[in-house]
Amino acid sequence: MNIETLSKRLIDRENPVHVHLIGVAGSGMSGLALLLLGMGHRVSGSDRVTSGETQRMQGLGLIFSSPHRADEVHGCDVVVYSSAIREDNVARVAAREHDIPCIRRADCLAAILHTRQGVIISGTHGKTTTSAMCAHVLRRSGEMPCHYVGAEIPVLGSNAHWEEKASLMVAEGDESDGTLALYQPEHCVVLNIEEEHLDFYRDLAHIKEVFTKLLDQTKGKKIYFSGCAVTKELCASRDGAISYGWEDADFVASEIIESGGTVTFDVTKQGDLLGRVELGIPGRHNVLNALAAIAVADAAEVDFQLIARALGTFAGARRRFENKYFSKKLRIIDDYGHHPTEVAATLQTARSLNPERLVVVFQPHRYSRTQKLADDFGKALQVADRVFVTDIYPASEQPIEGVTAQTIVDAVKVYGDTPAEVVGAVQTGHHSVGNALKDGDLLITLGAGNIHEIGTKIARDMSVMEEMLRYVGDDGAADAKLYEPMRRHTTILCGGPAQFWLEPHTHEAFARLIDYCHERGIPQRIIGRGSNLLVRDGGIRGAVIHPAGGVFTEVSVDGEILTAGAGARFKKVASVAASHGLTGFEWMEGIPGNVGGGLRMNAGAMGTETFDQVVSVTFLEQDGEIRERSRDEIVAHYRNVPALRQNFALSACFKGEQAGSDAISQRMDASKNKRRSSQPIAASAGCIFKNPEEIPAGMLVDELGMKKASVGKAMVSEVHGNFIVNTGKAKSADVLGLIDSIREQAKEQRNITMETEVQIIGEDEFTF
């Protein structure tokens, strides 16, 4: 079925056509579904996924199925497929077997467009925003056109709409596969023409052939940007040519002022001032898009005052400089830009908002585009203060050897000193990006794939984190960061990120954070220095509270009683005690942890345990109250204190004895020397296993012949068999693999079950 035949069938309201759309969940195909439903035809569709849009369309009459099936095309008059649908798709195969006509999305759109006076918006970039502007301006002026746009448009209500009595239809024309040449519109707009989609086109000359055919088939106005040499070459000498631009054009914008997310400018037509426009979205590139819309509306004889009023209420398209999050601390914007010219224009607009820093996360689109335009991307991204690059979005392309995200990073470094790094997969890229953000940043996600997911996740978690801090109340009472790597906070130097990293500085702030997490159902953990801790590579979902600074690191002495906050390091406690002539704390010199962790684990060394010296502990208890308990009220076992499973230690009082400085110094040196001689200097989590009844754990590992055994970058220490050391960028999975190997050998060779002393927490895989 050709375009002319289908076009005639579509206007026959007495005999509705049954059209089946394969890939109906995509933005282009869903637009066709909305148009065909509006025209009164029977529309069915299938996709491998369901979405909110497919559910909405079912409410409008779409017959939907998922996944694709062969029988879904039975009885159809025509099958339409998107570019993402392969020839071996079961529905396409069934349609061919039953001699049902199969056509491309663009053929169907052309057939619909030819039933009205079409206005095609074409160009390498800017099509979606300009199409939406044109449709919005015409609607607000009373023209009520049909429209078809390649994204969700909040101000229009949907990406496509059929208006039965409309004379005009505004449609975005896709040039990516040459189908732009199918259209025979009344008017067309050519925004720009650059080398793009070189996976389909041979070169720029090939691209010009397609645009030339579109212009040849346009009956009325040919509206073009005079600042693009190629569009000017193709359009300027044609009948009905109308130019727009910064100068020497029919429509000119001048006196441009960018402020507060809007842009205002004067418009002249052939030298005569028409008036001033305040555009409801920012960016000089959007001034050009608005000029194109003004020229289209002028061709439809719309009064300029109505045009200006409509542009003032235009709110933009989804993924076109879309504001995802805004607070005093952070702004997040998402944009579809994936060509160097688009990237440059978008970043220029972002700069006009005057952020403290402009942080960009860029997702390269297609291997071929990355290879061809890497240098141009490197130049365009120089506008940013910091750049993160995700893995390439392939868009069905096969990889090209040597072309990766690093290709873009290398180009950025060649053309300037903007810091740039690869963050890998989009699914986890938000961890590195979110952790790098600072107050006052503007974060912009750029790309045509699924890069928007990074901004969405950061916006979700930033909203929660900022609410946490507001709940605490006092400014400065707590600090917070997203996705803090736990390798920075464990002595073994490995572990995934904490979803929310919180550092309260007062008892009250600590209590309010705990209360907030309980009320909102957010998992929370209290972590000190991380000296007896192994965090899995998937990180820790929820809040990790790290008492730091303020009252938590204070250490004071009154007579023979030493009081220390939960965040105070054992090393500091030993030092303060010594300076006040108190003995009994020297063993702490050899312990890498802090008071809170020592209390929770009843840590010890040199024959002494933490609770041997405890006089009292101040707790934040389960009911939210802060109470002090004496030592007699607290049960403490070897490496286990039941009262601290559900309650939280805020501080503790310890009993010492007066002694001379020489005696204290000798004991301190003995503690240091013992640690140096018996424990590895390399990064570790302390003793990995509890001592079995039969034999000390370190001796057992030695007898098993497993000293220096390794998995990845984790290795059993040659100094002490009960220590696993990080020899350099070890993963937690390496450590866990080595632990399992030791356990297996102990069970197999000696029938001994080894129990870990190190705390193992977190997720095996990323879940946030």
Q: Which two tokens stand for residue 191?
A: 């925004």
Percent of the chain's residues with pLDDT above 70: 99
Does residue 396 register a pLDDT over 80?
no
Active site residues: 127-128, 172
Residue 39's pLDDT is what? 93
Residue 210's pLDDT is what? 94
Does residue 434 register a pLDDT over 70?
yes
pLDDT bin (cut points 50, 70, 90) of residue 317 is low
Respond yes or no on whether the N-terminal peptide bond of residue 67 is cis (omega within 30° of 0).
yes
Q: Model confidence over 731-744: pLDDT tens digits?
A: 999 999 999 999 99
Three-class HEC string of 401-430: CCCCHHHHHHHHHHCCCCCEEEEECHHHHH
Please give the Cα distance from 609 to 670 (Å, whole number): 17
Token look-up 């997310």 returns 261
Provide mean pLDDT across the span 338-364: 92
Please give the Cα distance from 318 to 660 (Å, whole number): 73
With contact defined as beta carbons under 8 Å apart, do 429 and 423 qualify?
Answer: yes
- Compute and round to an integer the Cα radius of gyration of the chain: 34
Please give the Cα distance from 559 to 576 (Å, whole number): 13
Provide mean pLDDT across the span 452-472: 95
Does residue 474 register a pLDDT over 80?
no
Provide mean pLDDT across the span 549-559: 93
Provide mean pLDDT across the span 2-7: 87
May I ask the CATH architecture of the domain 116-312? 3-Layer(aba) Sandwich (3.40)
Please give the Cα distance from 281 to 295 (Å, whole number): 19
Residue 478's pLDDT is what? 93
May I ask the CATH architecture of the domain 681-761? Alpha-Beta Complex (3.90)
Residue 523's pLDDT is what? 94
Please give the Cα distance from 69 to 486 (Å, whole number): 47
Among the listed residues 36, 99, 106, 34, the one whose alpha carbon sits nearest the alpha carbon of residue 73 = 99
SS3 category, 596: helix
Q: Model confidence over 27-47: pLDDT tens digits?
A: 889 999 999 999 999 999 999
233-248 core/surface letters (b: 16 or more CB in 10 A; e: else): ebbeeeeebbbbbbee
Provide mean pLDDT across the span 538-549: 93
Does residue 359 register a pLDDT over 70?
yes
- The mean pLDDT of the chain is 92
| Domain 3-105 = CATH 3.40.50.720 | yes
pLDDT bin (cut points 50, 70, 90) of residue 200 is confident
Does residue 316 register a pLDDT over 80?
no
Does residue 307 register a pLDDT over 70?
yes
| Amino acid sitting at position 173 | G
Q: Model confidence over 249-303: pLDDT tens digits?
A: 999 999 999 876 789 999 999 999 999 999 988 888 899 999 999 999 999 999 9
Residue 468's pLDDT is what? 94
pLDDT bin (cut points 50, 70, 90) of residue 678 is low
Domain boundary assignment for the chain: 3-105, 116-312, 322-459, 475-545, 552-676, 681-761
Residue 198's pLDDT is what? 78
pTM of the model: 0.76
Q: Which element (helix H / strand E) includes 543?
A: strand 540-545
Residue 671's pLDDT is what? 79
Q: Model confidence over 94-143: pLDDT tens digits?
A: 999 999 999 999 999 999 999 999 999 999 888 999 999 999 999 998 88
Polymer length of the chain: 768
| Domain 322-459 = CATH 3.30.70.20 | no
Please give the Cα distance from 763 to 745 (Å, whole number): 26
SS3 category, 8: helix
Please give the Cα distance from 634 to 611 (Å, whole number): 9
> Which pairs with CB-CB distance under 8 Å and at least 24 residues apart come from 65-71?
68/22, 70/94
Angle between helices 304-312 and 284-299 (to 10 degrees): 140
Pick the CATH number of 475-545 from 3.30.43.10, 2.102.10.10, 3.30.360.10, 3.40.50.11600: 3.30.43.10
**Spatial CB neighbours of 64, under 8 Å, sequence gap ≥ 6:** 24, 44, 45, 46, 47, 50, 54, 57, 58
| Domain 552-676 = CATH 3.30.465.10 | yes
Q: Which two tokens stand for residue 456?
A: 């969405």
Q: Which two tokens stand for residue 119?
A: 């206005």
User: What are the E-state strand segments in 283-329?
Assistant: 322-326
What phi and psi, each to the nearest 5 degrees, are found at residue 524? -140, 150
Q: CA triplet 477, 482, 488: central angle to 5 degrees?
A: 90
Does residue 503 register a pLDDT over 90?
yes
